[in-house]
Structure 1
Amino acid sequence: MTDLTGKTALITGSVQGIGLAIAEAMAAAGARIAVHGLAGDAQIEEVCSHLKDKGAPQAEFFAGDMRNPDRISELMEAVAAWGGPDILVNNAGIQHTAPLADMPREKWDAILAINLSAAFHTMQAAMPGMAARGYGRVINIASVHGLVASKDKAPYVAAKFGLVGLSRVAALEYADKGDRTSGGVTVNCICPGWTETAIIQPQIDARAEAHGGDRDAGIAELLSEKQPSLRTSDPSEIGALALWLCAPVAHNITGTSIPIDGGWTAQ
């Protein structure tokens, strides 16, 4: 079991979906959780209370608009003053599907800002402190679309390919920080395929509508095109891998991009 007692984890976009599942896994391992995302006061209180129930000694919400570098700086300064982060999970992301010729300019700008540039800003702020402590984990939630492309997703694919490249550069720059005992500083990407989250719901709805409202039939059609297992992933499975990457035994796993995609990228 990975023990994160005494560690602080900042997980962006952690009020729902994959981000919340990662927060739950790290809370159960004893980490303090810096929660972030788009949510009202009631949801924020509910999530923080839930994570404490899961085992986090503390769980507090930190605001930050991931489109705005100044707001990201304020977020990172607040979390640093709170005692971390020892673990940084860049999970916040948005999606919009449209052909290249029809993609709105503002969607390109927003997707690149939130899915790629924000990770640069958080990593730049967090990683020197990780190096000084001899332990740090950056886990960037990329996508199979950081490894292979699909039509109608130009900004998303561009951002996720960029995130994989950014992670490799950071992994190289920090590879010799810390040691086996302290755990070192590592940077890795997790690349989920079809996962049961809100971000894919519009695509499921569109396929379900074509099948007379049959959601299962819509999911099956989506997966048959890409994911050979014909099974979606549950967010908790992404959380389990993220937690394992935080263990000291993973000190030499850095610069990788690990698919959880039912064989999608093996084709």
Structure 2
Amino acid sequence: MSDLSGKTAFVTGSVQGIGLAIAKALGGAGARVALHGLATREEAAAACAEVTAAGACDVRFFAGDMCDVSAIEGLMRDVRAWGEVDILVNNAGIQHTAPLADMPRDTWEAILAINLSAAFHTMQALMPVMAARGFGRVINIASVHGLVASKDKAPYVAAKFGLVGLSRVAALEYASVGSRDSGGVTVNCIAPGWTETAIIEPQIAARAAAHGGDRAAGIAALLREKQPSQRTSDPSEIGALALWLCAAVAHNITGTTIPVDGGWTTQ
């Protein structure tokens, strides 16, 4: 059910965290994997080595600034020259917390560009080819903040709500493409809650500082506030869900947003 032999996956923001975990999951199922990020040569090589070790038959790293539309266009040309993409995972994202009144305007623009507009550009470039082949999977990594809001995260919440809406529109537009046998073209979001990645480190540090520098206490404080399970998720768990959404049996699962949040958005 999870055999992706012969498929090519492109995962943005995949040199660490959730993106790397998803790339390893897809590679472990036999996919060729195009990695992406703003990384040093050493960081890119290390990520490629991890995905290769997971079982990917071929791995290549592609650099590209997701803030820059012309850079995204070039990135899409380069990736497609390497292999037509069957699976697109839009994971690249940035975060900055500040009250609305204090949020820098350039930060607003950057977060919207990377977390939302970049997904539009990659989907616009790759989904028509998926449709022509009768199979495609788009998995957009949203967030619980694509479903509920929190203070001090105006651009991040706006971008993630927008990503959920964009995904629903694309899901409707491509819903009738392909067949059960071909696998169809689906578009879904995964909405992680607190997950053990670098993006939440500033918030952990702030909470730890309020608890005398105790990092464990800082994490516990974050969980108590939002996540009823009182457990963080590991990036590999997001990878396992992404892999399942790529299976042929998931051909009728489209337009959904699946929370992995320990009950956060159930409250």
- The TM-score bracket by the shorter chain reads over 0.9
Which has the larger displacement, 158-167 or 51-60? Answer: 51-60
Counterparts of 1:264 and 1:51, CA distance in 2: 31
Q: Please, which runs of 5 or more residues in structure 1 have no aligned partner?
A: none
Counterparts of 1:50 and 1:151, CA distance in 2: 36
Counterparts of 1:52 and 1:226, CA distance in 2: 36
| SS at structure 2 position matched to 1:207 | helix
Cα shift at 1:80: 1.0
Cross-structure match for 1:127? 127
Kindly provide the amino acid, as one letter, of the partner of residue 181 in structure 2. T
Cα shift at 1:77: 1.0
Counterparts of 1:24 and 1:77, CA distance in 2: 23
Counterparts of 1:243 and 1:185, CA distance in 2: 15
Cross-structure match for 1:57? 57
Cross-structure match for 2:21? 21
Cross-structure match for 1:258? 258
Q: How many residues end up aligned between the 2 structures?
A: 267
> TM-score scaled to structure 1, two decimals?
0.99
Cα shift at 1:38: 1.4
> TM-score scaled to structure 2, two decimals?
0.99
Cross-structure match for 1:174? 174
Cross-structure match for 2:12? 12
Cross-structure match for 1:249? 249
| SS at structure 2 position matched to 1:36 | strand
Cα shift at 1:52: 1.2
Cα shift at 1:78: 1.0
Cα shift at 1:81: 1.1
Q: Please, which runs of 5 or more residues in structure 2 have no aligned partner?
A: none
- Cα deviations by residue, 1:80-112 (Å, 9 ceiling, x for unpaired): 111121000000000000000000001000000
- Where does 1:20-39 land on structure 2 (aligned, <5 Å)? 20-39=20-39
Cα shift at 1:64: 1.1
Kindly provide the amino acid, as one letter, of the partner of residue 61 in structure 1. F
Counterparts of 2:205 and 2:50, CA distance in 1: 29
Cα shift at 1:63: 1.4
Counterparts of 1:107 and 1:8, CA distance in 2: 33
Cross-structure match for 1:74? 74
Counterparts of 1:227 and 1:92, CA distance in 2: 23
Cross-structure match for 1:87? 87
